[in-house]
Amino acid sequence: MNKNQLDRLIEQYIERFEELNLEPNSEGYKWETFQKFTDAWNIDSPDFKGMFEDAFKDLKSNNLLQSGQFQPVIGILDLLKHQEEVEYVRSAFRELFTDDGGDITAREKRIHAFIEKINNKTIQYDPNTKFRKQNLRSALFYLNLWKPSENYIFKATEAEKFAEAIEFSDDFGQGTTFNLEIYYRMCDEVLEELAKNKELLENHTARLEKLGIDFDDELHILVYDLMYCSAADAYNFYGKMIIRKSKAAERKRLAELDELRQQQASLKGEIIVLESSDLAYPVITGTKVHHKKFGAGLVKQCVDNGLVISFECGEKQLQYSVCVENGILDFESQNVFEVREKILENQDKLREYKNKLIEIDKNIRIIEEKLK
């Protein structure tokens, strides 16, 4: 994610905060809608139909969920007109509104199960219905109403534009390819930045107090409001920015490429350090050794990687490192073996890092080719 781009959107949101919240804009309606739902919702209500109508009253007219021909709330209200389906609808919401302890995969499964359950019943009464059926957006919105502090509102067009503007590096897809975990991860990253902005928080807190909002969404609705206002024609935050046009898949590849290049640079640095290591075996002139073949001996000379050792059979010239690393000689000095372990460890690391570098170089070439 490009934090500079996100900061520019946040700056515009703050600069135009008063405009956003005065008539005719009054963007605070989002929190008011959630407040009315919170006040009215009771899944155990003896009059579930009446309770549902009251809880969703504002959502029939504002653009938070329904828009144009898309009327999922009306679709559920149509089902509730049939007395025999009231408990069916109640059970569908009870299953959707099941605490999952933060398990996003389980939540996603419940969303799809809810959509299927309600739509199967809807088409029984109106086989040709299209715009009053449930979909990902509506089911996810119901979860937002129930637990706004654990969910984020999703509208595909606004979310995609926002992801492009802030250069979010992953693809949350849409429709059948939508990935809730990735979308929530983007929202979490945005939330983290919003929570750091003191001026924004002061303005937002004052807005909630003025509206009489007493539930805590932990800034989750604010994340969506930033997305919405950034894209809305009335505000057009994007018009004041340079936005690199790119598809989500391309942004993902660019982020992967950046990560690989960072790993590449880091590994090259580690290899340079290891190759320039000044680890050396200690000078052992005058110490006793024992050779596997020649027996006991005395080191007469120790220069660089060469040893001259006097054995009973005569003097021998041997390579210091070969003798140590292959266990050909036993030494009186324990320090030799300590250095040996460090040298062997460095050699293992060097091989590992060089192999990793080969693999990273290969992956970089693959991604660069795809980006051409």
- Axis-axis angle for helices 180-194, 104-125 (nearest 10): 120
**For 66-102, what is each residue's pLDDT tens digit?**
777 889 999 999 999 999 999 999 999 999 999 999 9
Place of tokens 């660019």: 254
Reading the block at residue 185, the tokens are 């991860």
Minimum mean pLDDT range among 254-258, 262-266, 318-322: 254-258
**For 138-183, what is each residue's pLDDT tens digit?**
999 999 999 999 999 999 989 999 998 998 888 888 888 899 999 9
Mean pLDDT of 113-129: 93
Q: What is the mean pLDDT of the chain?
A: 90
- CA distances (Å), 125 to each of 85, 129, 207, in order? 11, 9, 44
CA–CA gap between residue 317 and residue 211 (Å, rounded):
91
Closest CA to 20 of 211, 195, 220: 211
**For 40-62, what is each residue's pLDDT tens digit?**
999 999 999 999 999 998 886 67
Domain coordinates in residue numbering, the chain = 3-244, 288-332
**For 327-337, what is each residue's pLDDT tens digit?**
888 887 778 87
Q: Is the pLDDT of residue 357 over 90?
A: yes
Confidence band for 320, pLDDT divided at 50, 70 and 90: confident
CA–CA gap between residue 290 and residue 309 (Å, rounded):
10
The rounded percent of the chain whose pLDDT value lies above 90 is: 62
In this prediction the pTM is: 0.70
Contact 329, 290 (CB under 8 A): yes
DSSP state of 282: P
- CA distances (Å), 104 to each of 101, 143, 162, 169, 322, in order? 9, 12, 22, 20, 57
**For 192-249, what is each residue's pLDDT tens digit?**
999 999 999 999 999 999 999 999 999 999 999 999 999 988 898 988 887 776 667 6
Residue 198 identity: K
Which DSSP helix (H) or strand (E) runs through 9? Answer: helix 3-15
